[in-house]
Amino acid sequence: MSKSQMLFEAAQKHIPGGVNSPVRAFKSVGGTPVFFKAAKGAYLTDEDDKQYIDYVGSWGPAILGHAHPEVIKTVQEKAEFGLSFGAPTAIETTMADKICEIIPSIEMVRMVSSGTEATMTAIRLARGYTGRDKIVKFEGCYHGHSDSLLVKAGSGALTLGVPSSPGVPAALASETITLTHNDADEVRRVFAEIGEQVACIIVEPVAGNMNCIPPEEGFLQTLREVCDESGAVLIFDEVMCGFRVGLQGAQGYYGVQPDLTTYGKVIGGGMPVGAFGGKKEIMSHIAPLGPVYQAGTLSGNPIAMAAGLKTLELISAEDFFETLTAKTTKLLIGLQQAADDAGIPFTTNQVGGMFGYFFSEQKNISRFAQVCQGDMERFKKFYHGMLNEGVYLAPSAFEAGFVSIMHSDTDIEQTINAAAKVMKTL
């Protein structure tokens, strides 16, 4: 029995399902989740001392690779001064200034402790600001696990087959209108009918919770237009793609400015962090400036701010995103070649350092329905084959993959060689 098997058995006694977040449980790929004890650069080491090339990167934050020496040093130094104050600290202002300097659409920003908190509060703020209750989201997009947003959601909810969770009051769910992602015509039709009742549209501008799905040409622009016409607030959930597909995230990449943006992952440098920010006119409605309430004991935690600021500094280096994008492209060209050589129907998506792969006859996958049509049995076999070869990928066909700046050419070539071997067994 491996140590992971023993640890998983032990974990199930007091932790529901043995995990503290469902997508970790390997439910859709089967088998035992790997328990890790260390991470450095592009690698993970499991409890049995096996090393893996990692393309999960803690679900995105590890853009600099794991345990980057400068981030670790900053965290250690900051920790000497105390872990939490529950009172204002200078570094929170430094972080707010930094975000506003990098992201033109953000005039004010509030730090929280997770992406879920950020999106949940952005929704409340949009409702408070507009005085409207209905919200629009898209099937397959995941915006954390707050009640209003767990309706036809992606990520672990979809992986486990419960995209609309029990426990969400029907009355609340009925205020969430779920539309087809990337269908601009449907958005226009719905807004022509009820646009004036809608508080906000929330969208992952690059959807990373139903694999990796970029916006179709004009989709984000349509969202901007219908929000301008109806007075609804446009929220970009950039928890995953923010500071990942480019320094200015998806809004910089596609040139569409939202009213509010939510963040997490990269801005915490691996620590638990979230943020929401945007137009001053809207953000002024947040307490204590305005009446819309939001709070958090650990919000703006100094250690998390230090890790995040150091990460933002390092990813702001010239050519950082060009290099990250080139590494990701090299990986995907290699995977495609490996599949083609083995005669396996396969295609990939990429936006900057974020990627997806599909066992599918179709190309240019841009719709949720197409993702669901992928060959899930092949995905599972490929997943376990790669795991066996020492490559750690997301254990779900509904999650994006992430490359870090520490993935070397050798790591990527090793990954492609592993894929070539595994593809032949499918």
Ligand X SMILES: N[C@H](C=O)CCC(=O)O
48 is catalytic: no
133 is catalytic: no
Task: With H, G, I as helix, E, B as strand and everything else as coil, classify residue 125.
Answer: helix
How many other C-beta atoms lie within 10 A of the C-beta of residue 84? 13
User: In terms of CB distance, is 242 or 302 closer to ligand X?
Assistant: 242
Query: Tokens for 392?
Result: 């750690």
59, 138, 236, 358: which one binds ligand X (CB under 6 A): 59
User: In terms of CB distance, is 142 or 355 closer to ligand X?
Assistant: 142
Query: Tokens for 171?
Result: 């009355």
Query: Tokens for 58?
Result: 């803690």
Residue among 183, 237, 259, 375 flagged as catalytic: 237
Q: Is 402 in the site for ligand X (CB under 6 A)?
A: no
Binding mask 148-167 for ligand X (x = CB under 6 A): -------xx-----------
Residue among 134, 265, 310, 327 flagged as catalytic: 265
Q: Peptide bond preceding 288: is omega within 30 degrees of 0, i.e. cis?
A: yes
Residue with the closest Cβ to ligand X?
21
Q: Is 209 in the site for ligand X (CB under 6 A)?
A: yes
Q: Is 16 in the site for ligand X (CB under 6 A)?
A: no
Tell me which residues in 267-326 interact with ligand X (CB under 6 A): none
7, 23, 29, 418: which one binds ligand X (CB under 6 A): 23
141 and 237 Cβ atoms separated by less than 8 Å: yes
142 is catalytic: yes
Q: Is 399 in the site for ligand X (CB under 6 A)?
A: yes
Phi-psi label, residue 313: left if phi above 0, alpha if psi -120 to 50, beta otherwise: alpha
User: In terms of CB distance, is 153 or 416 closer to ligand X?
Assistant: 153
CB of 227 to ligand X, least distance (A): 25
What are the Cα distances from residue 82, in Å, to 78, 86, 89, 303, 388? 7, 11, 11, 9, 42
Phi-psi label, residue 199: left if phi above 0, alpha if psi -120 to 50, beta otherwise: alpha
256 and 221 Cβ atoms separated by less than 8 Å: yes
**Residue ranges that bind ligand X, judged by CB under 6 A:** 21, 23, 59, 142, 155-156, 209, 240, 399
**Catalytic site residues?**
142, 237, 265
